[in-house]
Structure formats: C-alpha cells, structure tokens
Structure 1
Amino acid sequence: MSKNFPIHELVIKNFRGIRHFEFNKFRRITFIGGVNGTSKTTILEAIFFLMNRKSLGLLNVTATQRGLTPNLALMGTILFHNGDRNQKIEVISKSHSDSSKILLTYYKNDPRPNIARTINDPRTGLTTRLGEECWSAEAYRNNQLTDKLYFVPMDSDFIVHPEKQSHDDIPIATFVSKATSFSPQEIAAAFTEVVKERRRGELIRAMKIVNPDITNIEIMHYGTEPVIHAALSSENLIPINALGEGARLLFLAALHVCLKAGGVLLIDEIDGSFHFSKLREIWSGLFSLCCKYDWQIIAVTHSRESVMSAFAAAGDIEKEQDFCYMRLERDGENLLQTLYDNDDLGLSEKNEWEIR
C-alpha cells in the first residue's frame, strides 16, 4: 500500500456544516458518499483551502460552487459553522512525514495591534484606512507559522494584505466539479507548460477515453483569446468544451495532474457527466495518471455505479489496496463514518448492498 501522498489524516473544525470532523484513514484514492447534507463537498472545500492557502482559493471555489460572488460579508455567513464568526475555522492535515494547518479568524472592532491601521490598495495605489472588520488566515507547516494574510473589505469587494509570506513549497490541490471554471488564459498557460514538459501525449490518451477520434490537442487564437481544440481523425478542429461536459471535466482533471507532480485532485460529483459504461475506463485512466505523477484523488459521489467502477478500476491497475470508500451519515451535528475496504466492497458488489 502506497503511503507517499499528502493527506493521511484530516481534522476540520467550525467550517460550514461541520462542527468537528476527523478521519485518519485516507488512501491514495478515497471516495466519499452519503445522502445530501452530509458535508461531502465541504470536506473537499476544506482541503482545497488548506492546500491553496497562499491564495483566495477557498473564497473563489466556495462562491463559484454556489453561483455567488466572493463577498466577505456574505461568505462569512456561509463559511463559519452556523454563521458563528466568533469561532475560528481550523483545518489540519497530516501525512507520514508532514503536517499542515490553517486558521481563519474574524475580527470586528479589534485594535489589531500587529497590522497597520492603513494599507495600500494595489489596484488604485491609494492608502486606505482599515474598516472595523477583517479576516485573517494563518498557515502553519509542521507547527511553524509560514504565512499570514488579512482579507480586508473595500466597498463591495476586498483586497488581501500579506503580513507574512514564505516560499514554502506545498502540494497543490485542484478542484474539479461541474461548476469549475478557469479563464481561457489560465487554461492556455497550463497547457503550454504541459507541452513544454512533453506530456501532451498523456492528455491525448486520457481524452481518447471519451472520444477515440481525438488525434491531437492544440491551441488556436480568436483575436487575443486562446481556445484549446481537439483535432479529430476527420481533420476537424473542435474546441474541447464543445465536445461535451464530460470531455471538459476530464480535460481539466488530466491537464492539472500533468502540469505538476505531487498534488491532490478533488473531484465533486462529475460522474453524472459520463455514460455509466465509460466510468471504469475513465477512473482507470485518471488513477493511472495520478499514480504516474504522484497525485492523490479524493472524490465525492452519489453513485453506487461510480464507486464500484472506481473500485474495479483500481484493481485494473493493481492499486486496490490504495482504494477506500467512506460513507457519511449525519446525527445532529455529528458526522458518522463507515469505512469500506477491499473486502467490504467485494462483498457489497456480490450481495448488492446499499452503500451510497
């Protein structure tokens, strides 16, 4: 069983629908299921926040997932458990050799002695006096403070004021869901780096799972806007996004795994974008790619077919010992966990147990 992946254990406190959650049996490939309202997506969001703590990742992803604008006042009611901003949000992860933690704190009418009462707005170059409220995000690596940021409201928007920044190289996380959106420039820049690393072939092989006619992937420009196209055996060039939602999501996942080794791929219910007959092959392709480039996969699903297809796919590449499935149930504010290992999943398939 592989142990070289970023998240073995996870603790989440006071974040969205989670008052307190702990799980210490993550594998390289972990699937999470459960009925609506059991905070499955919230777990992915917490991991994304932790792994992308040098950016606005949490605000942007949480807002995008729900069609909202990342406004501090609005997000405060969403991010803090039961809207109680008096409690700090805390997310902690541990691997076999490393630990990471992030704290999100809300300040109101606080003297904040450690930061200046005025800061420069980089967008306007003007000096602005701080209002009566702000948030801080403190990141720790192996119990040492590495980064500290302040999120400061500015009219209907906000800016980020860094108090402490490090060059700490932490594993990255990519969040892929039906709501995921990257700018054409971001996608083109990532694709260009993948081509430079001579990994375009990996992307093409992944995309052939959803469309066997794809022979190449390349960038075309429409004015100043870059658009990624798939070349088909018919010699037509079709934008990747025009090949369907499944093709778009698979491309985003494979692109980011090929971009940089050693990260965490967070997948939120994308299986509904694929025909059930393709699920095993898609999971097998993604698992192989993640193992090659040393990525961990944590995926949320409502589909028994998806779980069993993923379990079979792990066996196809001889990684069944690296696969587990966790089912969540809610008992008031408590999240109850049922862990299914290889034997359990085998019996579930044989006896058609309900595991969703």
Structure 2
Amino acid sequence: MKFKKLSINNFRGVKKLEIDGLKNVNIILGKNNSSKTSILEAIFLLVGSLNPEILLRINQFRKLSFNEQDDFRLVFNNLKFDENIIIEGNQDADTHKILEIRPTSQNKNFTQNKKTINAEDLKELDFDSHPDDLSINQLTFLSKYKEKHSKEKTVESKLLFRNGQFNSEIGNIRTALSERAVFLTQSLDMSVNLEKELEDLIVSKQIDLVIEALNIVDENIKDITFGRNRLIYIDVGMTRMIPINLMGDGVRRMLVVILSIYNAKGGIVVIDEIENGIYFSTLNKLWRSILVTANKCNTQVFITTHNYETIKSLKECLSNLDSSFDDTNLFKENIKVFTIRKLNDGNHKSYPFNYSELENAINEDLELR
C-alpha cells in the first residue's frame, strides 16, 4: 500500500496533523523539535500495526526504554492518556489502514478496580474526584484495514506490562493486510542488518541491481561480496578488493539506504535525517540513487531533514537529470516536499511543495523550514 494521505492524532509531540498529496518519495522538512521523527515513527507503527512490539522498538531507536508501565505515557501526546492514538493512511477513498492504540488496565485476576477502604484512609481529605490509581499497564492495538470492494476488517493485538516485563499478544494476521516497512535511524546502528540484507541479494542473484545504483555514486564499483569474518568487500577496479570500513561512513550509509529500498519492494522505507554521515558533495548522487531505486522497486520513501543545503541538493539533482534517465519528468512528478510547522493551538500543519514550487522557493531564497 502506498499512502496518498496521512493523519496522525495524539502521538508523541503531534496533537493533530494531516499530510495530503503524498508521492513516491516524500521529504519531511522542518526545524528542530517540529516532530519530524515522530511522523516517521507513526508511519512505521501504522505499517507494522499487527506487531505491538514495534512500540518498544521505536523507543529503542531514541535510546529510550520502557522500565515500568507508566512509561507507556512516552508515546502519548503531552504524556497523557486522555485520548487514544489514531494514525490513518489512505491510498484512496476506498482503501485505508487505521491504527488505534487504547490505554487500558488489565491484571491476571481482573480485580484491579476492587479496593478496600478503611476509616484511617478517610482522615486526610481529598477534594479531587479523580481516582487515586489509574494504573495503565496495557495498550490495545486495533488495526483496521479496508481494500477496494471489501468490508473493513479489524485485528486486535495487545502489549501488556506485568511483573516487570512486557508481553505481547498478536492477533490473527492470516487475513490481515500486511506490508513491510524499514526504519533507518540517524545512526543506522539499530535500523538494519546490513550483512543479512546483502546476503539475501547475493543469494537471489540480484546484487547487480545494487551495484547499478551504487554506480551513480561511484562508477568504479564493480562488485560487492563477503570476505574473512563476514566483512563486506567492494571491488573498485584495484588489484585487491577494499573492506567497506575503509571507504568511509558515507559509502556504508548509502549502501544501507539502497539495500533497504530494494528489500522493501512494494513497501515503505523511512529515513531520519538523511544528511547524517554524508558529505554535501555526495548528496546529489545519493538523491539520484534513491529516486532511481525507489521507482524501480515501487517502494514509497519518507525522508526527514532540517538542513536547507540538503533540500538545495535535491533541487540541483532534479534540475540536472540528464538524458541517461528515460523520463526526467516522472522523477519530478513523483517527489514532494512537506514543511511541518507547529501552530499556536498545539496542532501541526503541513505545507506541500511540488518540484516547480520547490525550485521557485529556492531560487527566490525563501525560508522553507
């Protein structure tokens, strides 16, 4: 499923946000603390809504950890359980996917609300009508999906904290709409198993597709394989192959991006702060690789950045597409930039820019973030 519209409510720092007119490659632009990463997390949760353990994973991406049940608040807007989290993605009017996360209380004996009140408890007056203990130790995930010419279906899953540990209960996924999403964090440390992804392509004899994409970055790359101790080696035309670790973090990051897009064919890849670890002079080539690979693999990509130079490099990449591309207009039509801003009422708003609008804004030196 490729999303054309996204709606996020009550998740992390996002009280309410709608993004309409999504394309194949979408760039989420905004200043620091504009909830760009939260948008990527919401997309990741929505695509993987049948697996409640993803909630633990996105906290791990931020180097956070759930140590007690009250940590469930970390994913709710303003750290409050007042409203459910609702994330919706629409492909069209008749095809959509919705994730609703409800905070609930649950224990083994279903006696949590029973309470014995002694006279001693009444000595201290309390003028608050709210119960003293609203112990939220379970999140219920309702994954709702509807395809054209079919009824809406709902799969219920649960994430429960009890006795110091988490337990998940995954609903019936046999009849569910399931896609694949890959989350690439700023550091990539926990995002993807590079060796496993590369091995799958080598075994399936599809590594040439990756080399073709990497040639946009470095035309000297001839081959990629494994050496001693499972170290990745790259052939750049010298007498010996070079370990990827000697080629710099930029090459490794670009390889991870390209591999992820290939391995998520028909699914979604989200990339946080794409410019991290990439030299500005290489960004133009990286954009080309992403555009070509995403189009070839039918993968929808969401990318965040707060760097104006990164957006300028995108504009330059699109402006300078040469005759080696079959249809330059196709790439320009399949990309969209969205500036995210927080309003005074606490809601967020997206401001879309197609290629022509992006080009004009940069030429006029307008502030896009």
1:330 aligns with 2:317: no
For the 8 Å contact 1:176–1:249, the answer to whether it is kept is no
1:21 aligns with 2:17: yes
Q: In proportion to residue count, which structure has more strand?
A: 1
Aligned pair count reads: 330
For residue 360 of structure 2, the aligned residue among 347, 351, 354 is 347
Which residue in 2 is equivalent to 1:217? 224
1:59 aligns with 2:71: no
Deviation at 1:44, TM superposition (A): 0.6
Which residue in 1 is equivalent to 2:45? 49
CA-to-aligned-CA distance 1:228-279 (integer Å, 9 cap, x gap): 3323433444443553322222212211222242112211112132221221
Matches within 5 A, 1:1-356: 6-55=2-51, 56-64=53-61, 66-71=62-67, 73=69, 75-96=71-92, 98-109=95-106, 133-142=137-146, 144-182=152-190, 186-220=193-227, 222=229, 226-314=230-318, 316=321, 317-318=328-329, 319-332=331-344, 333-356=346-369
For the 8 Å contact 2:217–2:285, the answer to whether it is kept is no
In structure 2, relative to structure 1, the CA distance for the partners of 1:154 and 1:214 (3 Å cut) is farther
For the 8 Å contact 1:279–1:306, the answer to whether it is kept is yes
Q: Name the SS for the 1:329 alignment partner.
A: strand
Which residue in 1 is equivalent to 2:129? none
Which residue in 2 is equivalent to 1:117? none
Which residue in 1 is equivalent to 2:123? none
Q: Name the SS for the 2:189 alignment partner.
A: coil
Q: Name the SS for the 1:179 alignment partner.
A: coil
Q: What letter is aligned with 2:33?
A: G
Deviation at 1:171, TM superposition (A): 2.8
For the 8 Å contact 2:106–2:138, the answer to whether it is kept is no
Q: What letter is aligned with 1:351?
A: E
Q: What letter is aligned with 2:365?
A: E
CA RMSD of aligned residues (A): 2.7
For the 8 Å contact 2:182–2:264, the answer to whether it is kept is no
Structure 2: how far apart are the matches of 1:211 and 1:72? 48
Q: What letter is aligned with 1:278?
A: T
Q: Give the stretch that moved more between structures: 212-221 or 20-29.
A: 212-221
Structure 2: how far apart are the matches of 1:164 and 1:309? 45
- TM-score under structure 2 normalisation? 0.80
Deviation at 1:301, TM superposition (A): 0.8
Structure 1: how far apart are the matches of 2:37 and 2:191? 23
For the 8 Å contact 2:234–2:242, the answer to whether it is kept is yes
Q: What letter is aligned with 1:47?
A: I
Tell me, which stretches of 5 or more residues in structure 2 are unaligned?
111-134, 322-327
In structure 2, relative to structure 1, the CA distance for the partners of 1:341 and 1:195 (3 Å cut) is same
CA-to-aligned-CA distance 1:153-186 (integer Å, 9 cap, x gap): 25443121224333535332211122333598x4
In structure 2, relative to structure 1, the CA distance for the partners of 1:183 and 1:218 (3 Å cut) is farther
- TM-score under structure 1 normalisation? 0.83
Q: Name the SS for the 2:23 alignment partner.
A: coil
Deviation at 1:349, TM superposition (A): 2.5
Structure 1: how far apart are the matches of 2:221 and 2:68? 43
Structure 2: how far apart are the matches of 1:340 and 1:180? 28
Deviation at 1:213, TM superposition (A): 4.2
For the 8 Å contact 2:284–2:316, the answer to whether it is kept is yes
CA-to-aligned-CA distance 1:50-78 (integer Å, 9 cap, x gap): 112233233212322x2123546364121
CA-to-aligned-CA distance 1:179-231 (integer Å, 9 cap, x gap): 333598x4333223222443211222333455554322113453xxx443323
For the 8 Å contact 1:19–1:334, the answer to whether it is kept is yes
Q: Percent identity?
A: 21
Q: Name the SS for the 1:271 alignment partner.
A: coil
Q: Name the SS for the 2:222 alignment partner.
A: strand
Q: What letter is aligned with 2:361?
A: S
Q: Give the stretch that moved more between structures: 343-352 or 229-238.
A: 229-238
